[in-house]
Structure 1
Amino acid sequence: MGLRFQGTVYPCTIGKTGITSHKMEGDGATPRGTHRIVGMLYRPDRMARPTDWAKPIGPLDLWSDDVNDRDYNKLVRAPYPHRHEQLRRAGPLYDLIILTDWNWPYAVKGRGSAIFIHQYRRPGFPTEGCIGLSRRHLHRIAPRIKHHTRLIIA
C-alpha cells in the first residue's frame, strides 16, 4: 500500500523477505509493529540539513550490527573491529536516514538492528529490512517529520 504520512501515501519498499512479527538479525524482514522516529542523519556534503535535530554523517560513522559486540545496534565510529554498516557511502542510499527505535536503545542480541527509513535503490527493489522511499519523497517527508512520530508497520 505504501507509507502514509500527513494524508499522502508514498510508494515504498520493505525487506526482501516481507514483514515479520519475529525479527532476527540478517533475516531481511521488516518488523511489524508501532515504532517511533528517534533520530535523523544526513550527508552535509550532499544536502542541506533537513531539520534542526538532524545530525551529520561523518566519514568515520558506522552502525554496529555485530550481535556479539556491546555496541550492537548503535552508532559507532571507525576504526571499529566488529561487523558494521558503513553510513557514509559512495552511493546515495544513506544520504538521509530516519532512525527508528526498533530494538533500541536497549538492544536484544540477535533481534535485528538498524531499521531505517532511507532512499531505495530503485522502485520495487527490496531492502534488507528497512523502509525505502524515492529520494524525492524522502526529502519531502524529512523536514516535516518530528521526533517520536509513529511508524506503524501492519
Structure 2
Amino acid sequence: MRGLSCLVVRARPGNQSQGLLQAGSLIFRCALGRGGISANKREGDGATPLAAMRLVSGYFRDDHFAGARRTRLRMALIGPKLGWCEVPDDRNYNRPVEIPYGASHERMRRDDRLYDACLVLDWNIRPRRRGCGSAIFFHLAREGFTPTQGCVAVTAQTMRRLLPLLSSRTVLKVVR
C-alpha cells in the first residue's frame, strides 16, 4: 500500500463499543465509544460520531512511541502543558490549550499511554458547534479494546503500521 485515502470503521456485531477498521484490504480490531456509534453526537454521551472525518494532524510522545514521525501528517510532541478544552461555553472549546487552564480540559500527556500516538479528527473543528462533542481522536487502545469516550482506538502495533500510510487527505469514515 502506498497511502490510504480512507479508513472505514464499523461496530462489531453484538458489541457496540468495539469495531473493525478496514484499511485497504487489511482489517484491524478497534475500540469505539461506550455509547456506540451515534448520528447525533453530543458532548459527554460517550458515542463515536457516525461521520466521515478527515485526519487533521497528530500528537505523540517521543519517549514512548518511536516511529510517529514516519507519516505525512503534521505531528507535534506532547509536552507536559498540552491540554484539550472540553467545555462547550469556553472560547477554546474543542481546541488545544496550555495547562494549567481555567476551564475543564483533558490532559494530553496521559499516564495510561492512550495518547502516545493521537491523531486529531476534524469532528466539530470548523465550524465548532457548542456541545456537539470535543476531543474526537484516533488513538491507542486499552488492553482488551475497552470503550473510549467517543474516539476510535487501535493497538500500538496497528498504529505503527498505519501511520506511514496516512496523510491529511485520509478520511476516517465511521459507518453502520
Say yes or no: TM over 0.5.
yes
The secondary structure found in structure 1 opposite 2:119 is: strand
Q: Which residue of 1 aligns with 2:100?
A: 79
Note if 1:46 corresponds to 2:64: yes
1:82-118: CA deviation from partner (whole Å, max 9, x where unpaired): 0100000122111000110000033100000111011
Normalised by the size of structure 1, how large is the TM-score? 0.94
Give the corresponding residue for 1:14: 32
Paired residues in the alignment total: 154
Q: What is the match of residue 121 of structure 1?
A: 142
Paired-residue identity, %: 37
> Which residue of structure 2 aligns with residue 142 of structure 1?
163
Which one-letter code corresponds to 2:84 in the other structure?
W
Q: Which runs of 5+ in 1 are unaligned?
A: none
Aligned AA (1:90): D
Could you say which residue in structure 1 is the equivalent of 2:45?
27
> Which ranges of 4 or more aligned residues in structure 1 deviate by more than 6 Å?
none
TM-score (norm 2): 0.83
Structure 1 vs Structure 2 CA RMSD? 1.3
Contact conserved, 1:123 with 1:134, CA < 8 A, in 2?
A: no
- Structure 1 residue 58 corresponds to structure 2 residue 79: yes
